[in-house]
Amino acid sequence: MQKIIEVVTDAKEKLYDITPLVTAVVQAAAVESGVVSIYVRGATAAIMIQENWDDSVQLDVVSLLKKLIPHGVWQHDAQDNNGDAHLKAGIVGPSETVPIMGGKMGLSTWQNIFLCEFDGPRQVREVVVTVISD
């Protein structure tokens, strides 16, 4: 089963918890055992599994990446002023894979799935969710 989730982003750089959206796709697939792949389309966004106790970790991720990869100093900025967004997305990566166990995603208590926006806001980010049965 494959479904495209559309996410509206409202900030230049922010992590968005898409776990409930992915969970709904997994439940609709009715797969007892397998994997779910979560892949964002676009070169300036990424997917990350991270803690969601509060927003401090998410804010720390954005803060760290801003410090490691500052805005406005990259060759690509001459084209469209978003060289940092491309580099951040490349480092984090466009996808994650989660096991499905007993009909549910095998995330731990503290793990959630995040869409990482590095070049927003965007009217739509497309996330491809693919469920594969064993």
Q: What is the mean pLDDT of residues 8-34?
A: 98
Q: What is the mean pLDDT of residues 69-73?
A: 95
Q: How far is residue 127's CA from residue 134's CA, in Å, rounded to a whole number?
A: 22
State the pLDDT confidence band at 87, using cuts at 50, 70 and 90. very high
What are the structure tokens assigned to 17, written together?
A: 């918890």
User: How big, in percent rounded to 5, are the helix, strand and coil portions of the chain?
Assistant: 30, 40, 30
Domains assigned to the chain:
13-133 (2.60.120.460)
Length of the chain: 134
Per-residue model confidence as pLDDT tens digits over 57-69: 999 999 999 999 9
Cα angle for residues 122, 46, 25 (degrees, 5° grid): 85
The 3-state DSSP class for residue 133 equals strand
Q: How high is the pLDDT of residue 51? A: 95
Q: How high is the pLDDT of residue 14? A: 98
